[in-house]
Amino acid sequence: MQHMKKVLVTNYVHPHLITGLGELGYEVVYDEHFDPAELNTLLPELSGIIINTKIKMTAERIRLGNKLEFIGRLGSGLDIIDLPQAEASGVAVYNSPEGNRNAVAEHALGMLLCLANNIRRGDNEVRQKLWKREANRGFELDGKTIGLVGFGNTGQAFASKLSSWALRLIYNDPYLLDVPEYLSNITSTNINQLRTDADIISIHVQLTEETRGMINYDFLKKCKKGVILINTSRGAVVDTTGLIRALEEHHLAGACLDVFENEKPHSFSFEENQLFERLYSMDQVVLTPHVAGWTHESLYKIAAVLLDKIKGQY
């Protein structure tokens, strides 16, 4: 009797993915509270695994999974998978940035508008019965230059949201081959020109050794004074110490951050606590807990994209 191929799903997903994997003939082990410590024992039995950020598929784990046919990533970031080992082992790797790119784009725009119009501060003051109209005078995006660092799925989705606005869009992405026709109003530029021209810089890159710590104090000091930074990509792309220094010196006028170098506040070292308290005390920042791609709609879309890729239909 032939045993069914087994797929482990380690995070909360839309039922569409579980049902679809079952229809493909897989035995699905679905445990949204899966303990990563148990993974090595289970790996030799698996034909597939669906992961999110809590599990890293290291080279050792990929080798342990000697029956693995695929690794599925809920979302976009592939920094949690050893891609060279996956390729060497003949393991297909699927991610699903198409599933949450719209959510990320909407969130980035929402954070920017929140900062531009002092919405966070104004909301807090109104709740305290404070009525400070002049102190909360904002600024408009019309006429501004927005520079995108990275122009893949989320970068293009963000540009699409802004394409009908009266502003200038520029991007830098040395790996981009083709810009979609519907984004013909965006201009490619080198990183130095982007820093010179952009009033607002939005980061849309994968985390790699090349991009880790890329947005540091030196990078920000070379930007136009008064620039605003948006990061919805990966926390480690931005050096927190350099970011805070640029904010404290008012070279950087504001920041919208959905991702952070350490996203487990309970694990902060003494130094990290001091560092992040400086960030949290700033009025010119808008902060959210890595939820830019975390919508009810993206939950389904991520599942659908991943399933279609496993089927070979995407």
CATH 3.40.50.720 fits 99-287, yes or no: yes
Q: How far apart are CA 217 and CA 206, in angstroms?
A: 20
Active site residues: 234, 263, 290
Question: Which of 52, 102, 104, 95 has the alpha carbon at shortest distance from 230?
Answer: 104
Tell me 68's DSSP state: -
pLDDT tens sequence across 124-178: 999 999 999 999 999 999 999 999 999 999 999 999 999 999 999 999 999 997 8
**Cα torsion at 142, 106, 95, 26 (round to 10°)?**
-160
Q: Where in the chain is the domain with CATH 3.40.50.720?
A: 6-95, 99-287
Report residue 70 CA to chain centroid gap.
Answer: 22
- Residue 260, pLDDT above cutoff 50: yes
Strands of 186-188's sheet, edge to edge?
Answer: 186-188, 168-172, 145-149, 200-203, 227-231, 252-257, 285-287
- CB atoms near residue 52 (< 10 Å): 18
Name the 3-class secondary structure at 8. Answer: strand
Q: Which amino acid is at 138?
A: G
What band does 1 get if pLDDT is binned at 50, 70 and 90? very low
CATH of domain 6-95: 3.40.50.720
Q: Mention every residue, 6+ apart, whose C-beta is less than 8 A from residue 302.
A: 13, 14, 74, 75, 96, 99, 100, 293
pTM of structure: 0.94
